[in-house]
Chain A
Amino acid sequence: MSAIFIMIGASLLLAIGFLIAFIWSVRSNQYEDDYTPSVRILFDNTTPQDNKQETNNKTSKTK
């Protein structure tokens, strides 16, 4: 039964870890815009730096 003292303590610490993660995510403005990221994730996976050759292939396909 005494194990429960440690278990409860550990579980609480773990939960506090999640709470801190939540607070961090709020503070870093991750909830500021809840629409754009959902669209952005569907874009082709190219970063502005390396998409030169990628889109070249694509234009031949589009038109």
Chain B
Amino acid sequence: MKKELTDIKTKTLCYHCGEDCDHNVIVSQDKHFCCQGCKTVYEIINKNDLCSYYDMEQAPGINQKHRIREGKFDFLDDTQIIKKLTHFQDDTHQHVIFYLPQMHCASCIWILEHLNKINPGIIKSQVNFVKKEVTVIYNYHETSLKKVAEALTLIGYEPHISLNDVSSSKVKKYDTTSIVKIGIAGFCFGNIMMLSFPEYFSLAKADEVGLKTWFSYLNLLLSLPVFFYSASEFFISGYKGLRQKFLNIDAPIALAVLITFGRSVYEILSGTGAGYLDSMSGIVFFMLIGRYFQNRTYQTISFDRDFKSYFPLGVSVIDANGIEKQISVSELKVGDRIKIHNDEIVPADAILFLGKGTIDYSFVTGESLPVEKSIGEIVYAGGKQTSGAIELEVVKEVSQSYLTQLWNNEAFKENKEEVKISFIHRISRYFTYVLFTIALSAAIYWSINDPSKIWGAVTAVLIVACPCALLLSATFTNGNMIRILNKYKLYVKNASVIEQMSEIDTIVFDKTGTITEQGKSEISFQGEGLSGEQSQLIRSLANQSNHPLSKSVVSFLPFTKMLNVKNYKEFKGFGTSATIHDHFVKMGSSDFVLGKDTNQLVSGSRVYVSIDEAFVGYFIVKNSYRQGLKNIVSSLGSQFDLKILSGDNASEEAFLKSVFGNKSEMLFEQKPEDKLNFIKGLQNNNKKILMIGDGLNDAGALKQSNVGIAISDDTNNFSPACDAVLSGKNFMLLKELINYCRRQKTIIFASFVLSILYNIVGLSIAVQGNMQPVIAAILMPISSISIVLLTTGLSSFYELNLKKSIPDQSHDQK
């Protein structure tokens, strides 16, 4: 039996989603629900005998306070869209993959794999939890894509379908070749080592029967796939680098592999020795593992999203006869009349035609409060309508709109990684020069003393001192650091981000959603205190208005019954007034309520209130800043230059100055291009910039900066093009995370020193021209393994610093 979910004290938790039920508990079949939506979902699950859903985890459901409008998925009946979304179709079946960001627990997997109980037309559904995707196979004669999407929505998993799903031609395929390459290299390495045993221990008996020759030929055979298949990427990348006149780390590695293989083939075919094939395949094996480990970044976050994944796929269009029809956003033409429902995104620049627009641009421009739009005004693409349905006429196509123009900027065309050269490559270049000098001096020495040994000494030098140790230390350090950073909810795009992060000297913050919390505002009342009746009057009036400030007032005041409101009037841009229980209540700007403009620089927006023409006081609605902002700013300030770039107005400047100090530069009302150009300007002054932002308006700046981190309170939400995604909860850890990334170089240098020690031992044997394969075979794995241990050990050791700062944070929240 399930534990009772009701908290004894005061809280009643929703049986479905586990949220606090606040004031309005809905009871059905002795279970409590926080909203009608959760109850409906429970009833559907119950009706279809799927109640095990609630047995696996406590309250696994997704909160249903925002119900999805009916007909939202009508566009999925369009054959063109079906064709683009489904990835397989035969006479009866269609296969489709839906992205369900809400997926979070075992119960989710369970219910999503039993979809056919809700819709019998579904034949099979299979979850990929890591990617948060579900593959649905259904019979399209019995059901349809639209009905599948609706079935998912019905149980609370609304599929996320964006414009990106149809415009990107191919789904990113899971990369199997790198694993196959590792498998083959490992297999050959193990077997070659085993077959080299008689050689290692100089078994005289084995020699007699020709076992050694037979084994060395087998070794040669086994090394072929390693050389030609597994190691091919080193040759290709090294060759590419040389063609661009750039000596990357792969070139010396390819050279070492080539020489080892060449010398071994010569020795085996001429019968003069056993070669170093075991060392060669071992090196390749370890290096491939290192690369794989380094590239294994967080799968569920895609870093190359653009506006397309933010935009919806379908939109309602009203044709000449006034009939509403769903079409794909990409088919929108200038002059089309579209209907945008509550909480939907305006997909193209359009003119408001009908209804009242309250557009939330916070994600697009950084303005923290929604903007009111009246008929005839232009609404830019990307804004979210927040007050009922509106009708608009499209004036620009989706790809031409104000917002999408940003993506035409050249910052989006160049590839960051190619421009920046990792310090690993620079070290490997010195390494190569030193190596060639040693090989050359060995050759000169032996040409004087014993010319027969030149060949052996030179090749042995190149074999032993392969820069693979350098590659290994870099890849294993990066791989482990990425893994640890993921643990602290900083998801980096690739390893070069860690290195870039260690070089930054300036941090630029966006305001809205970055240092303030998304969708939250802080509200306080200034005045002589409200009586219960006054509070009830104000709340009833505020409840009439859809203005965001009114909404914050409603949620701020204690819960009371709403009173009857008469003579309600709304004056756009000023305020509202009404008669409630014979009291005349007015609220709005000071101009409107007091009749005079208190023109002083104040932080936040103020809502003045008067009852029966007597001034009562005012509410201050401020952005709610992230907790502990002051601490993090002062600790970062000692180390970096801090700057603020905000798309919002300057109303919070005074407060920000008090936190950031007067030294920090602050710019307000910045357009996306302004932000990008500001970063560019700083970079021209040789600054290395870390940009921290969240919205689409930061996309340009994030892309242009050396490292762009997108803050996201919910990592499943959309975040724009960036190098890393940081969870808003761990914003406090920013300094520790940056300092952790700075350790990367220390760790790599430490392991590099270790590998040089090994190299000195190996080289001192090699230059003498009599290196035994057994020595190479022992030295190589030992040096590789000790480097792997050292790098992972050190990077985990430095993690302790990160761990230490965590209790502070939890303290802060309390």
Contact = CB atoms under 8 A, between A and B. Distances in A.
B124 interface: yes
A36 B130 contact: yes
Contacts of B179: 26, 31
B129 A32 contact: no
B218 A33 contact: no
A59 B51 contact: yes
Contact of A40 (B51, B109, B209): B109
A4 B215 CA distance: 11
B116 A48 contact: yes
A27 B180 contact: yes
A4 B51 contact: no
Nearest to B105: A39
B52 interface: yes
Contacts of A19: 183-184, 187
Interface in B170-205: 174, 176, 179-180, 183-184, 187, 191, 195, 205
A36 B174 CA distance: 16
Interface in A40-61: 40, 42-44, 48, 51-52, 55-56, 58-59
A37 to B, nearest CB: 9
Question: Interface size bucket, B side?
Answer: 35 or more
Contacts of B54: 62
B218 A32 contact: no
Given A19-B187, A59-B51, A39 B129 contact: yes
B131 A33 contact: yes
Contacts of B124: 48
Nearest to B195: A8
A62 B52 contact: yes
B211 interface: yes
Contacts of A26: 176, 179-180, 183
B129 A27 contact: no
B682 interface: no
Nearest to A43: B110
Contact of B130 (A29, A35, A63): A35
B128 A62 contact: no
B2 to A, nearest CB: 8
Interface residues of A, number: 33
A51 to B, nearest CB: 8
Contact of B191 (A5, A15, A42, A52): A15
Contacts of A55: 49-50, 52
Nearest to A23: B180
A15 B195 CA distance: 13
Contacts of B113: 40, 43, 48
A12 B218 CA distance: 10
Contacts of B209: 1-2
Given A29-B174, A32-B128, A39 B52 contact: no
Nearest to B190: A15
Given A8-B195, A27-B176, A44 B187 contact: no
Contacts of A51: 114, 117
Interface in B35-64: 49-52, 54-55
Interface string B114-125: 101100000110
Contacts of B129: 33, 35-36, 39
B176 A56 contact: no
B723 to A, nearest CB: 25
A19 B110 CA distance: 34
A39 B109 contact: yes
Contacts of A34: 130
A8 B50 CA distance: 56
A38 B176 CA distance: 21
B179 to A, nearest CB: 5
B654 interface: no
A1 B198 CA distance: 14
Question: Which of A8, A48, A56: most chain B CB closer than 10 A?
Answer: A48
A36 B129 CA distance: 5
A45 to B, nearest CB: 13
B214 interface: yes
Contacts of A56: 49
B106 interface: yes
Given A15-B187, A23-B183, A39-B109, A63 B131 contact: no
Contacts of A12: 191, 218
Nearest to B120: A48
A35 to B, nearest CB: 5
Contacts of A58: 49, 51-52
B127 interface: yes
A62 B129 CA distance: 26
B130 A33 contact: yes
Nearest to A36: B129
Contacts of A8: 195, 214-215, 218
Interface string B428-453: 00000000000000000000000000
Contacts of A15: 187, 191
B744 to A, nearest CB: 27
Contact of A62 (B51, B110, B114, B130): B51
B301 to A, nearest CB: 16
A4 B211 contact: yes
Interface string A1-21: 110110010001001000100
Nearest to B127: A36
B184 to A, nearest CB: 7
Contacts of A48: 113-114, 116-117, 123-124
A22 B176 contact: no
B49 A33 contact: no
Question: Which of B49, B106, B128, B130: most chain A CB closer than 10 A?
Answer: B49
A36 B106 CA distance: 9
B51 A39 contact: no
Interface in B704-744: none
6 contacts: A1-B205, A19-B187, A22-B187, A36-B130, A62-B2, A62-B51
Given A19-B187, A58-B49, 5 more contacts: A12-B191, A19-B184, A48-B124, A51-B114, A58-B51
